[in-house]
Structure 1
Amino acid sequence: MDLSGNRLSGQIPESLRGLYFLSSFSVAYNNLQGPIPSGGQFDTFTSSSFEGNPGLCGSIVQRICPNAPGAAHSPTLPKRLNTKLIIGLVLGICSGTGLVITVLALWILSKRRIIPGGDTDKIELDTLSCNSYSGVHPQTDKDASLVMLFPNKTNEVKDLTIFELLKATDNFNQENIIGCGGFGLVYKAILADGTKLAVKKLSGDFGLMEREFKAEVEALSTAQHENLVSLQGYCVHEGFRLLIYSYMENGSLDYWLHEKENGPSQLDWQTRLKIARGASNGLAYMHQICEPHIVHRDIKSSNILLDDKFEAHVADFGLSRLILPYHTHVTTELVGTLGYIPPEYGQAWVATLRGDVYSFGVVMLELLTGKRPVDMSRPKTSRELVSWVQRLRSEGKQDEVFDPLLKGKGSDEEMLQVLDVACLCINQNPFKRPTIQEVVEWLKGVGTINRNQNKDP
């Protein structure tokens, strides 16, 4: 977000701390005054982001703020630079989807509650300590509210303190950011013994109080499967919340397919098929085995992480339960990512198991085609991956959808079988989509059955 050199005046709104997905920020060379917000992403931005504003104060620019009465209520940016408008424009520009998405973003934001100011999420180092689960009971110990639990049977870390965690992330340095999503930023942490962890710093408006939050985290920690990212522990103190996960050496599927130079060429068909099978197994465990059953609500390639052997692990499952009130297996808040959201969400914003199946179908199309779900740089008729694939398939040109890196290498029949499965998953009618367990069985049979034995979409 670059607002430098725009003759802005007034004070930086505290509500901008809610833009937790920002990796960079600049209001340099304006006429801004007052304290620079602290906490959240503002602890990661460089001092150059605020230079050229003599009236700004705070530790980042090494100018002490006067303790004038009423300072917290000093003027904010002019109304013409309404915070919601700025956020909406940034979302529209970053998504590359033009005016329509910008307007949609503004409308969604107008429905969401943004609290100006609010409590800082700065960590109080002299009061916060984190301990392992052994010997600590969160309901009876004196410092129960300050405890980090590691309820898994096989833990990567023991007796981790907040000081060690801060050191491992270099005080949540921006350079250690390895991912971002709808629930916060993810940082790489390297402990003194060399152990690597992924630490998600949660952001957002929590629908659950501290005790309920702990209960939900402990419930999620029981979801143990070889194709799920393992939750190692958490830390909670007032408004400050961290989740600690196992570290995935090879990052996300999105990174390998769409961002890493020569990444797609390193994902041959057998590797891509293994990823699809592994991710479907993890999703099936969430839907049918673990208790309570979990609707992911944001299945996408960036939430499928890869270990050093390119085994797939589904990430960010159940996080909506920590942020928003969750009462049944059907939830009523829109959570999802453009290109993966099932069409039925347009009529009723309800997340279901079959909605997850649709999103997973889109992931399979990404694996087959090497293309993003939405790409505004492409011609209008092929910008949306789902409609493009469906059109070519209806015209009998299904061979044209496959990634050129995969074609003609002896796996075309297997790719056609997976395409059949993916097209079943992206059926416009949710009741005609298969269950995820059916998807698992079909993917398991790819290469061992005749394509004509698959159900006809």
Structure 2
Amino acid sequence: MERLTRNIPKEIGNCSSLEVLNLNDNEFEAQIPKELGSLSNLTTLNIQNNRLSGPFPDEIGNLSSLSQLFAYSNNISGSLPSSLGNLKILKWFRAGQNLLTGSLPSHIGSCESLQYLGLAQNKLTGEIPKEIGMLKNLKELILWDNQLSGLIPEELGNCTNLSTLALYDNKLVGRVPKELGNLINLKALYLYRNQLNETIPREIGNLSSAEQIDFSENSLTGEIPVELSKIKGLRLLYLFENHLSGVIPVEFTTLNNLSKLDLSINSLTGPIPMGFQYLTELLMFQLFDNSLSGSIPRKLGAYSALWVVDLSDNQLEGRIPPPLCGNSNLIFLNLGLNRLTGNIPSGVTNCKSLVQLLLVGNSLTGSLPSNLCKLVNLSAVELGQNKFSGPIPPEIGNCKTLQRLHLSYNYFTSELPRELGNLSRLASFNISSNSFTGRIPPEIFNCKMLQRLDLSRNRLTGNLPGEVGTLSQLELLKLSDNNLSGIIHPALGNLLRLTELQMGGNSFYGNIPSELGALSSLQIALNLSYNNLSGVIPPELGNLVLLEYLMLNNNHLTGEIPGSFANLSSLLGCNFSYNDLTGPIPSLPPLNNMAIGSFIENKGLCGGPLGGCNPAPSSFSLLPDTKDKGSRLGKVVAIVAAAIGGVSLILIVVIIYFMRRPVETVAPLQEKPSAARVSDIYFSPKEGFTFQNLVAATDNFDESFVVGRGACGTVYKAVLPSGHVIAVKKLASNREGNNNVDNSFRAEILTLGNIRHRNIVKLYGFCYHQGSNLLLYEYMSRGSLGELLHGASCNVDWRTRFLIALGAAQGLAYLHHDCKPRIFHRDIKSNNILLDDKFEAHVGDFGLAKVIDMPQSKSMSAIAGSYGYIAPEYAYTMKVTEKSDTYSYGVVLLELLTGRTPVQPLDQGGDLVTWVRNFIRDQSLSPGILDARLNQRDESTVSHMLTVLKIALICTSLSPSDRPTMREVVLMLIESNRRECHFDTSPGHDTD
């Protein structure tokens, strides 16, 4: 059916007898005509899902007969008119997913018939008016994802007909009003992701009809009120990520309808009440990151079809309960970082539904169960830091779906089975710190998906097989502290994605292969120390421009330190000590600040920290002249020297910073000056500037300089004195009187500070000033992809859209696969893909980004993502993976192709993925699904669009295992273009 476009004709206002006006699901633009206010008989006005902009006209308050007003999913802006209070018989008002600003007018309390009020996903500010408590007939109040602040009005307790109260994702502070306990008809209470504090009022236990309560991600304190156990119909209770203390009330075990319980990331103590094992409806049971003690209920899982159990990072003791998977539904089991003992019970090793088994950091014993690989869905096994022993059974080769196998820090012995080579999906294999012997089986290099391979600190012998060079996906290779020998194989130079190479503490001999200079991604470390290497240092190592640590000490290297090392601009530490190097130490920036310990015991080496070059032998000697690689003292000195070198560099930078830092004389943010340091600017752009420059460039952060707002802060455009334009994102600290950068800000800084990629928004630096945290970003002149696609006008052709999609995919692939530690974005959406003046995509806004290194990362449970983009499995796992980002990216692809927003009307599926699948089911994969604004006259272009649509459908597969990695997405997009459209995808393409 053809969609209507352009403006709503103002002449409709002449239809004085009109009662129902449905203009929904079209492409109407411009403003809502004020002439509609003349329709005195109008009962229903439906303008939802268009492209309308501008404010609601005041004349809308003249529609005295209006009962239903649907205006969601447009671009309506401005404040809500106070004249809405005139609509005495209005029952439905839904205007979510717009650009509304200002406060919620108190006159809304005069809409005495109002039953449904939905204003979610706008930019409303200010407090929730207490007059809303006058709406005695109100059933649903939906205000989530705004910027509402202040207290939750206690007057809401007067709205006793409320069934849904959704105030999450705002900036509400203070207490949870005890008056909410009066809402006896309330079924869903969502207050999560605010800044609420104080205790949970016991009156909440009076919500006799409640089925879902979510207070997570606040700062609530005190004990969990036992009165919550009176809510017998409660199915979901989320209190995670607060500051709750005390014990888990044993009375909770009487909540027979409870299916999802998450009390994680608090300070709870005491035992897990045994009665939880008898709750037959329990599906998700998460208590991780507390201080719980005692044993796990021994019959947990016997009477319920548990999906997710995460009790990690507590102080639990005893054995793992055998019936955890008693109903064969368990998908995720994490009992890591406790004090559990005994074997892995057969009830777990026979759990065929299990996908992830995480038991790291306990005192478990026994062998690796040989029947574990009968679990056909198993993707991750992490048993590190336990007391397991014996060999890896050859049956391990039957784990066809296994992607992660971590067995480090145990007592495993014997040779590695060649059957490991059958694990075609294995991406991470860590057996470090065990007692494995024998040779590295060449079959292991059949695992072509390997990204991380850690065999360090074992007793492995023999050569490193040349097949290692075929692992094209490998990012980390650790072989250090074994008994490996032979040459360092030149095939290592084929591992172009490698970021860290650790081969120290072995018996490798021969030359350092020049091919290592081709490892352009090598960043973390190249460690060849404590071997028997000889010959010269190949000058090709100077090509490793990203390298931070280079360790070549305790070998038999000769010749000079290459002058090509001038290119090692990222070097933080190096060690050439205990070799036979000669000649002067090059006066190069990467080497000038290294400590003397990095060069000692090279009799022919001179210059730099060793002093002037002359025929006399160096008088500096910390140890006897020895090359004994077994010398424990020699190793200690070398390690300390490298550490001192790194620390010295940091100290020099800090000293220079304080010598050059300008003295601030004013407090431009109009706050009281502090006796302490008031302003710090860190790693700012090379041109240098002061905090006062930022204040001047934004007129003291005036609203007129605002170019964007989001959950992470407000973004200002700043033109510096040099003419350089940057974006300044301002975050306010939640800690009064604390001059330290708050945790979320520091996490963002540490994550972004060293990232450089053409499709990632560049972070120039950051500033801390009197409680305000400022991020200094590269400025993106064309705003966000979301604004481009869903703004008032969008005439972007398919070529531009495709190149934006490809650029965003490349940026995301870099975060997933090329950063160390790996980064999962957690909130990929069109508004977080920013565009420069050539429409090139840059992935931005890492306010919710989490650095992923250890699988038990505490941050993994916090709700991540934006509505419409969140992967379906998140509802029951509460875990973010790279496949979560892939799903969100797939939604962005669908936006680019269809022109629709990620949230769709409920009668059309509720979200874009469902809408697309319904469309294809009913009308097949046809051009009718594509954005009508795209030129569809060229058959090859339409064919390309539909091919990309298929890629989007794969990205949004329901099962994470069916989704591709972002690297694979990039390859699929490039291949689709090669086959059909032949757009130029090289860097620097012109899309204007």
TM-score range, shorter chain: 0.5 to 0.7
Identical counterparts, % of pairs: 38
Tell me, in whole angstroms, the C-alpha distance in 2 between the residues paired with 1:199 and 1:22: 23
Q: 2:785 aligns with which of 236, 253, 257?
A: 253
Residue 242 of structure 1 and its aligned partner are, at CA, apart by: 0.8
Contact 2:759 2:843 in 1 (8 A): yes
**Is the alpha carbon distance of 1:368 and 1:5 closer, same or farther for their aligned partners in structure 2, counting shifts above 3 Å?**
closer
How many Å apart are 1:228 and its aligned residue? 0.5
Does 2:654 correspond to 1:137? yes
Q: State the partner residue of 1:80.
A: 155
Contact 1:220–1:318, Cα closer than 8 Å, also in 2: no
Moved more, 163-172 or 285-294: 163-172
Q: Is the 8 A contact 1:252 1:303 kept in 2?
A: yes
Deviation at 1:382, TM superposition (A): 4.9
Partner of 1:196: 725
Which whole-Å CA distance do the structure 2 matches of 1:391 and 1:291 have between them?
40
Change (3 A) 1:192 1:139: closer
Rounded to whole Å, the distance in 1 between the matches of 2:191 and 2:156 is 13
Q: Is the 8 A contact 1:297 1:355 kept in 2?
A: yes
Please say if 1:112 is aligned against 2:217: yes
Q: 2:956 aligns with which of 406, 426, 445?
A: 426
Q: Can you list the C-alpha shifts for 1:351-377, whole angstroms capped at 9, x where unaligned?
A: 11110000000000000000001133x
Given residue 793 of structure 2, which amino acid in structure 1 is its aligned partner? N
CA offset at residue 195 of structure 1? 2.0
Separation (CA, whole Å) in 1 of partners of 2:923 and 2:152: 56
Q: What's the CA shift for 1:112?
A: 3.4
Give the drift of 1:205.
5.1
Give the match for residue 946 of structure 2.
416
Give the alignment partner of residue 895 of structure 2, picking from 366, 369, 387. Answer: 366
1:26–1:196: structure 2 CA closer, same or farther, 3 Å change rule? Answer: farther
Aligned pairs, number: 358
Q: CA RMSD in A?
A: 4.2
Structure 1 Cα separation of the partners of residues 891 and 915 of structure 2: 12
| CA positional deviation for 1:283 | 0.2
Are the equivalent residues in 2 in contact too, given 1:253–1:304 (CA < 8 A)? Answer: yes
**What are the equivalent positions in structure 2 for 1:434-449 lying under 5 Å apart?**
434-449=964-979
**1:330–1:352: structure 2 CA closer, same or farther, 3 Å change rule?**
farther
What is the aligned partner in structure 1 of residue 297 from structure 2?
Answer: none
What is the aligned counterpart of 1:149 among 682, 693, 707? 682
**Residue 28 of structure 1: how far off its partner (Å):** 8.8
1:34-88 CA-to-partner distances (Å, cap 9, x unmatched) read xxxxxxxxxxx99xxxxxxxxxxxxxxxxxxxxxxxxxxxx98862158xx9x94
What residue in structure 1 maps to residue 102 of structure 2? 24
1:251 to 1:327, Cα distance in 2 relative to 1, 3 A: farther
> Secondary structure, in 3 states, of the residue corresponding to 1:368?
helix
Equivalent residue letter for 1:147: D
Secondary structure of the 1:148 match is strand
- Equivalent-residue separation in structure 1 for 2:716 and 2:651 (angstroms): 25
2:715 to 166, 179, 186: 186
1:393 to 920, 926, 937: 920
Shift of 1:234: 0.3
Other-structure match for 2:878: 349
What amino acid maps onto 1:113 in structure 2?
N
Residues in 1 aligned to 2:656 and 2:877: alpha-carbon distance in whole angstroms: 40
The answer on 1:262 being equivalent to 2:793 is: yes
Describe the shift of the 1:104–1:369 C-alpha distance in structure 2 as closer, same or farther (beyond 3 A). farther
Per the TM alignment, residue 317 of structure 1 is displaced from its structure 2 partner at its CA by 2.8
Q: Is the 8 A contact 1:330 1:351 kept in 2?
A: no
Paired residue for 2:768?
236
Distance 2:828 2:966 in 1: 13
> Against the structure 1 CA distance between its residues 338 and 78, is the aligned structure 2 distance closer, same or farther, given a 3 Å change threshold?
closer
What is the distance in 2 between the residues matched to 1:187 and 1:415?
Answer: 36
Structure 1: stretches of 5+ with no match in the other structure: 7-20, 30-44, 47-74, 93-101, 117-132, 452-457
CA contact (8 A) 1:138 1:145 kept: no
SS of equivalent residue, structure 1 residue 331: helix
Structure 2 residue aligned with 1:282, among 811, 814, 817?
Answer: 811
Change (3 A) 1:141 1:202: same
Distance 1:107-1:227 versus aligned 2 partners, 3 A rule: closer
In the aligned structure 2, how far is the partner of 1:147 from the partner of 1:258? 39
- Relative to structure 1, the CA distance from residue 198 to residue 443 in structure 2 (aligned partners, 3 Å threshold; closer, same or farther) is same
8 Å contact 1:331–1:350 — kept in the other structure? yes
1:223 pairs with 2:755: yes
- The question of whether the paired residues in 2 share the 8 Å contact of 1:303 and 1:316 is answered with yes
**8 Å CA contact retained: 1:329, 1:352:** no
Partner of 1:210: 741
Please tell me the residue identity of whatever aligns with 1:388.
W
Aligned-pair CA distance for 1:239: 3.0
Distance across 2 between alignment mates of 1:22 and 1:160: 36
SS in 2 for 1:398: coil
User: What residue in structure 1 maps to residue 846 of structure 2?
Assistant: 317
Quote the Cα distance in structure 2 between the aligned partners of 1:390 and 1:78: 42
Report the alpha carbon displacement of residue 178 of structure 1 after superposing the two structures with TM.
Answer: 1.4
User: What does residue 402 of structure 1 align with?
Assistant: 930
The corresponding residue for 2:299 is none
Q: Which residue of 1 aligns with 2:178?
A: none
Structure 2: runs of 5 or more not aligned: 1-78, 85-98, 108-124, 127-149, 171-186, 195-214, 222-649, 662-676, 982-992
Q: What is the alpha-carbon distance in structure 1 between the residues aligned to residue 859 and residue 169 of structure 2?
A: 27
Contact 2:168 2:191 in 1 (8 A): no
Q: Which residue number corresponds to residue 293 of structure 1?
A: 822
Distance (Å, rounded) in 1 between the aligned partners of 2:100 and 2:767 = 23
CA distance in 2, matches of 1:138, 1:103: 56
The superposition leaves residues 149-193 of structure 1 with CA deviations (integer Å, 9 ceiling, x where unpaired) of 226xxx4x6222111111111211122221122211111112233
The corresponding residue for 1:165 is 694
Distance 1:319 1:223, change over 3 A: farther
Asked if structure 1 preserves the Cα contact closer than 8 Å seen for 2:826 and 2:885, the reply is yes
Shift of 1:135: 7.8
Larger Rg: 2
Kindly state the Cα deviation for residue 216 of structure 1 after the two structures are TM-superposed: 5.6
Shift of 1:244: 0.7
Deviating more after overlay: 138-147 vs 188-197: 138-147
Greater strand fraction, Structure 1 or Structure 2: 2
Pair 1:450–1:136, CA change in 2 (3 A): closer
**In the TM superposition, what is the alpha-carbon distance from 1:386 to its structure 2 partner?**
0.4
Contact 1:304 1:315 in 2 (8 A): yes
Structure with greater helix percent = 1
Letter in 2 for 1:80: E
Deviates more, 1:164-173 or 1:402-411: 402-411
User: 1:140 and 1:358, CA in 2 relative to 1: closer, same or farther beyond 3 A?
Assistant: same
